[in-house]
Amino acid sequence: MLQPKSSTPIADEVHWSDSLTAYDKAHFTTYMRLLDASADNASDEDMAQLILGIDVTREPERARKALRSHVDRANWMVTTGYEELFAG
């Protein structure tokens, strides 16, 4: 189930890179929480609010963009980025 957001600041959009970034490493848990919540059919609003800490009522567009960006990066992490993460 969803747990309150982490205390690590969340970017409005994840900077894309073909390799792991410092942001990825700092937000690995956030990525995994998003994937877990998504697998549990959590709503986008709940994930943005509870995991990313964005008030979806006050900032619906920011919440939507940030969530999509972080979910996309989380998916990249589990399909490609993990190789670099566990390589050493």
Contacts of 43 (CB under 8 A, 6+ apart): none
Q: Would residue 56 count as lying in a domain?
A: yes
Q: What is the pLDDT of residue 9?
A: 87
Question: pTM for the full model?
Answer: 0.87
Q: Would residue 55 count as lying in a domain?
A: yes
Q: Would residue 30 count as lying in a domain?
A: yes
Which residues, given as ranges, of the chain have pLDDT below 70?
Answer: 1-7, 88
Q: How many structural domains is the chain composed of?
A: 1
b/e for 9-43, b at 16 or more Cβ within 10 A? ebeeebeeeeebeebbeebbebbebbbbbbeeebe
Q: Would residue 57 count as lying in a domain?
A: yes
Q: Would residue 66 count as lying in a domain?
A: yes
Q: What is the pLDDT of residue 1?
A: 46
Q: Where are the beta strands (DSSP E) in the chain?
A: none
Tell me which residue range forms the domain holding 65.
22-85
Q: Would residue 62 count as lying in a domain?
A: yes
Q: What is the pLDDT of residue 16?
A: 92
Q: Would residue 63 count as lying in a domain?
A: yes
